[in-house]
Structures are given as C-alpha cells and as structure tokens.
Structure 1
C-alpha cells in the first residue's frame, strides 16, 4: 500500500476505483476525497458501491455542502470525458433498479468485467452479495451498522485530538475491527468467496469494496483487490497505464487539512456576521 500526501501535481491514471464513501453519513471524509479527486485524473472511474449511504439518510437527513461538492466533482469529470461507472452496493441499493441507465453521464451497472492495460480481466462488484448477514439477516446488519456508527464517533473524537497534537490520522474503528477474532475470520472468508466468484467468471482477479478492508493480494491464483473506504482508511485503487494496480492511502498535509477543517467555521462566522448586519 502506498501512502500519498496531496501534491500540487495532478496524477493521470488509466482507471480509478473508489468505494464506500457513504455520502450522507457524518463519518464520510469528503474533504479527503475532494482533495484526492483534485489530484487525480482518470480515463475511467469506477464507483464500487456505497457511494451514497441510503440507510443513514432514511434514518435522518444529513447532506452538507461537501456531499454536493463530491457529486459535482464527479459530474464535472464526466463532462470532461471520463467514463464513470456506478456499481451500487447495499447502502445505495435503490440504484440497482436502474442498470444501464445514465445519470448525468454516470452509467449504472450491477457489475462489470474490467480489462486492464496488461490484458488481465477483473470482475468488479461491491461484494455485499457474499455477506451472509446482509443477505439473510437484514435486522442484524442494521444493528451492526449502528455499532459501527458508535465506533466512528470515537474515531472522530480521537482524530480531532490527534490533529491538535500534530499527529497523522489513525483509525480507531479499523484497529478495533482487526482485534476482534470473528471480524478477522469474516474478512478471510469473504475474500475467499469473492475470489472464487472471479474464478467462476473466468477472470484473473476481482475488485470489490463493502468490508472497508483495503488490500491487494493473491488468493489461489486470483488477484483479490479491495478498495477500502472513505470513512476509516481513505483508500483507493488506481490502475496505471501499464496495467499495474496500486492501493493508495490518502493523507492531506497538516496545513491543508487545518485550512479545510476551518472552512465550515469561517462560513458559519460569515453567516452570523451577515445576520447581525441585517438586524442592525
């Protein structure tokens, strides 16, 4: 895995794979994602599910300006000629009713087979189809989602403290997940099942999301790639022009992160100032 700090130079890649952004969740790191999208241009962008968090939006509406900014950034890339494919996940499953439909230049598909520049074929899907809990026990999945939200709240508090101390971002929720034996066993079983699905399709590998565990590894001759998420790890996968796949963890420089974090506070102060002037 490559850790990148944001740079002024734009990286141009053949394909960009993103998943599990969870727009509509307070935990979504939209500022990190926007920074990443500013620094990367791709001929093809594949959104590998759970881009919009329909589950949370049903519980309570939360859609700040940054969510609009992410959508507008993707639409702008589509207008500039990038091919964008949206593969819905379980949190944005409402889009699964629209396979083949284009929204503003973004194509919806249940799954695709991506042929890389080196000729290797990858089955691309979200992965919730192979999660027994999501498929057969929806109530348990919702309870797990609630527990995950609680871990994310701890994550946000710790991240704020670490920022003040000048320390890099570290995910408590990701660390906690890997300390639980059942979670580790689930991740291993999920990876094996998804890799086997790729084999059934005659593919050389599989690219998925869903479990928020970013990795590139070989499983019995199948290249297994998980794009991770933009809630805990801020990871994405890029395909370079020679077909090489790279897993990137995105970290903004401290100065830019502080400036981005200050923007909502500055906007709020400006709004209060305007209201005071109107009252006067």
Structure 2
C-alpha cells in the first residue's frame, strides 16, 4: 500500500558512495506516490566519484525508480548541489522527464510560497574558509566510515540505527553555531525573496525553525539520517525519518509547539 503526498523533498543522497543509505531510499520511494518530487541537490556525488566510485545495483535502481515516477505522472524537479554541480549547466532543460533548475519556488496547497535551493550558496555567507571546507569534507568522510562500523555492530545486537554525525552536531558547540548561522542565512534569504519560507538541504541536519513568521525547512539527508520533507494534501509539512526500525511510513507528530530532530526525538520549535 502506498501513501500519497502532494510534494516530497529529498536531498544529499550521495549516490555513488558507500555512505549512501540506498536500500532505505529505494524502499521509501517505492512506498509513496507524490504529485511533485524535488531532488534538492547532491543526489549523485560526482565529486567523490572522481576519487572512488561505489555505484552498486541499488543505486541504479533508485535512478530507474525516479525516472519511472517521472514517466508515470510525477513532476520531478532536480536542483543540483555542490557535489553534483556538473548538472547546473543543464538548468532550464528537461532530461528524461526531469526538470533541471538552479532553484525553484513551491506553493503549498494552503497558499504559502517557499524558495527551494540546495543551500551551498550560504557557505561563503557564513564565513567558512576553503581550507576549513576541505578539512570538513575529510573529517566528514571519516565520520561516515565510523558511522557505518558502529551501526554494523549495533545491528549485530539488534539495536536501531544511530547517527554519530547527528550526535556530534547536537553536542559540539562549533557545529551547533554553524547550523544556527546557516539557518539564519536561509531565513534572511527567504525575507529577501519575499516568500513564506525556505526549503534546502546541504548540511545533513533535518529541522524546522521559524523566525518573524518565516519558516526554515531542511529536508536532511540519506547518508546519516534518512529523512524527507513531505507536504500533505492539506499543505501541512512534516519530516519523515526512515530508520531501520520500523521501515514504514510514519511521520513525526508536528503541532505548534513541537518539531523534529534527526534522532527521532521531538524538540521545542514552532513548526507547521
């Protein structure tokens, strides 16, 4: 049985790398139908594949699933990120039924307008030096390798998936400061674009944040947390955490006082 959404936003899949949680994503895509699917950048990690490609059968099946969705009526919009920036040169074109854009505006069924982009454009705005970005990329790769090892051990003991990266991002002050600066930059950009909110990915941290009636939404990733942002037919936005236990559609309950954190726990925040 499939669950129907009005729109679904996913990003930071990193196909072509060992870190990609391809089994979970394929399972998710096979269990939903949606009017519009937004691929919000870093879908295929061309940057990492220059050094070492890991493109297994499940990765190919994900691409086939997306193409099949486009053929059967789903509007698929692809906004390349910094790891698949090669595809930005095709912005404005439609390839195999997939619209490629640098950014997009999405209007929910309840009339709110959101600006949609990958989010890497904020890297310079929040003063991350090229050296720190390079160090961060290497450290992040090591962290993902450790994450795979830790969860392999956890599976042996029947324990659910746990994100090392997610834990560090919520317990290291520098990481928390970076996330806050990123969110602030996106909220400011939404104000400049005169929209009701901003939807992006890039930092691998799914969350909602509201300030001055502007809503920030980050759809997370499919290497550490397996999250997607969904819009219900009513226009309500939710974050879905597609963890190993259970592997079925289950949204985090959202109301005026509670939001979502990647580890599945609610946290105080204004959400919609």
Q: TM-score range by the shorter chain?
A: 0.7 to 0.9
Task: Say whether 1:174 aligns with 2:166.
Answer: yes
By how many angstroms is 1:254 displaced?
Answer: 6.9
Q: Tell me the C-alpha RMSD between the 2 structures.
A: 1.8
Cα distance in structure 2, aligned partners of 1:91 and 1:255: 28
> Secondary structure of the residue that 1:59 maps to in structure 2?
coil
1:225 to 217, 227, 231: 217
2:30 to 11, 23, 38: 38
1:73 to 65, 69, 86: 65
By how many angstroms is 1:252 displaced?
Answer: 3.7
Unaligned runs of 5+ in 2: 249-272
By how many angstroms is 1:226 displaced?
Answer: 0.1
User: For residue 228 of structure 2, what is the aligned residue in structure 1?
Assistant: 236
Aligned residues between the structures: 248
Cα distance in structure 2, aligned partners of 1:146 and 1:253: 30
Cα distance in structure 2, aligned partners of 1:33 and 1:26: 14
1:189 to 178, 181, 196: 181
Cα distance in structure 1, aligned partners of 2:246 and 2:182: 35
**Structure 1 pair 137–123 and aligned structure 2 pair: CA distance change class (3 A):** same
> Secondary structure of the residue that 1:237 maps to in structure 2?
strand
User: For residue 107 of structure 2, what is the aligned residue in structure 1?
Assistant: 115
Cα distance in structure 1, aligned partners of 2:61 and 2:180: 35
1:37-186 equivalences under 5 Å are 37-132=29-124, 137-186=129-178
By how many angstroms is 1:152 displaced?
Answer: 0.7
Cα distance in structure 2, aligned partners of 1:78 and 1:20: 20
Cα distance in structure 1, aligned partners of 2:70 and 2:153: 38
By how many angstroms is 1:135 displaced?
Answer: 8.6
Task: For CA contacts below 8 A with separation 6 or more, give which structure has more relative contact order.
Answer: 1
Cα distance in structure 1, aligned partners of 2:187 and 2:125: 19
TM-score, normalized by length of structure 1?
Answer: 0.85
Deviations 1:86-110 (A, max 9, x none): 0011111111111111121111000
TM-score, normalized by length of structure 2?
Answer: 0.87
Cα distance in structure 2, aligned partners of 1:135 and 1:210: 16
Q: Would you say the 8 A contact 2:125–2:185 is kept in 1?
A: no
